[in-house]
Amino acid sequence: MKIIRTTEDLRAYRTSLDGAVGFVPTMGALHAGHRALIEAAKARHQHVVVSIFVNPMQFNEAKDLEGYPRTETEDQQLLQTLGVSALFLPPVMALYPKGDHYVVDELLLSQDRCGAARPGHFRGVLTVVLKLLNLVQADVAYFGEKDYQQFELIQGMATALFLNTRIESVPTVREADGLAMSSRNRRLSKSQRRLAAKLYPCLLDSESDDAARTALSHAGFAVDYVTSAKGRRFGAVRVGAAPDEIRLIDNVRINA
């Protein structure tokens, strides 16, 4: 596995490749959900590039950025085991050499759900993903369905801006008790982890969004939102107390 840290080296590496390229952008702290994305890419592409970059532009609060888990050594070992072709591991200055004066914004879908709860979050996501897609020039980039609003926005951006990379999703990978795999799960205490497992069944089994909201509140969550669209129910909750509370999101298919 080739480890690349500069945009110049990444461009040179990409030019040297023959054959189809799959791309999996991540923020590290890799888990089985990331493994599923990589395996989907490996099944269809001769080369698979993975990036690990904790993007400061998409965090609303400095403490959330500081607390994001970083497991670079373990991540590299896992990627090596999975047979990834190259790992792009840039410092912040590589992707933001002149700060963040140029941004990508979306004015409709990004305004609700997580966009309403985290102003500017999706601006940061779309900006960094566009940079990565332009650098890697992959045939297909893969994103998990746990962050379904993010997937929709990135897919829409690729279409609207005529990018050559196709954006595809991979179903959410869950723990045995239903909790969606997430890097943030590492931060949960034992009691918070037990509570977190109730998010999925509350969203899945409730007859309505209001009923899901009530069930989540009664379970002990602070509810950011529960809403349904396009045959899915989306929910965001918080566990723990400020300033160390942890935000969890999930979505499930429902009968529209």
Total of domains in the chain = 2
Answer yes or no: is pLDDT of 180 > 80: yes
Q: Supply the pLDDT for residue 242.
A: 77
Q: Supply the pLDDT for residue 256.
A: 62
What angle is formed at CA 225 by the lines to CA 34 and CA 32, rounded to 5 degrees?
Answer: 10
Buried b / exposed e over 105-128, threshold 16 CB at 10 Å, is ebeeebeebbbeebeebbbbbbbb
> Domain boundary residue among 170, 197, 224?
170
Determine the structural domain holding residue 223 and report its residue range.
183-253
- 66 and 97 assigned to the same domain: yes
pLDDT band for position 59 (50/70/90)? very high
Whether 178 is covered by a domain: the verdict is no
Active-site residue (options: 34, 45, 47, 121): 34
Q: How do residues 203-242 score in pLDDT, each as one tens digit?
A: 999 999 999 999 999 999 999 999 999 999 999 999 988 7
Buried b / exposed e over 55-69, threshold 16 CB at 10 Å, is bebbbeeeebeeebe
Largest CA distance in the chain: 56
- 123 and 94 assigned to the same domain: yes
121 is catalytic: no
Strands 232-239 and 246-253: antiparallel
- 200 and 77 assigned to the same domain: no
- 160 and 192 assigned to the same domain: no
- 155 and 204 assigned to the same domain: no
Q: How do residues 33-46 score in pLDDT, each as one tens digit?
A: 999 999 999 999 99
Mean pLDDT of 88-110: 94
- 141 and 197 assigned to the same domain: no
Mean pLDDT of 143-167: 98
- Residue written as tokens 């897919």? 155
What angle is formed at CA 252 by the lines to CA 105 and CA 75, rounded to 5 degrees?
Answer: 65
- 165 and 189 assigned to the same domain: no
Q: How do residues 64-78 score in pLDDT, each as one tens digit?
A: 898 899 999 999 999
- 192 and 157 assigned to the same domain: no
- 249 and 133 assigned to the same domain: no
Q: How do residues 182-214 score in pLDDT, each as one tens digit?
A: 999 999 999 999 999 999 999 999 999 999 999
- 29 and 106 assigned to the same domain: yes
Instruction: Give pTM, 2 decimals.
Output: 0.96
pLDDT band for position 61 (50/70/90)? confident
DSSP H helices, the chain, are 7-16, 32-44, 62-67, 72-82, 92-95, 114-117, 121-136, 148-160, 190-196, 199-205, 209-219
> Domain boundary residue among 121, 146, 170?
170
What is the C-alpha separation between 36 and 51, in angstroms, rounded?
Answer: 15
Please tell me whether residue 4 adopts helix, strand or coil conformation: strand
- Residue written as tokens 């960094």? 128
Encoded amino acid at 49, one letter:
V
- Residue written as tokens 């602070």? 222
Contact present, 146 and 249 (Cβ < 8 Å): yes
Q: Supply the pLDDT for residue 243.
A: 72
> Domain boundary residue among 109, 135, 170?
170
Torsion region of 220: left, alpha or beta (phi above 0 gives left; psi -120 to 50 gives alpha): left
DSSP readout, 179-236? PBP-GGGGG--HHHHHHHTTHHHHHHH-SSHHHHHHHHHHHTPEEEEEEEETTEEEEE
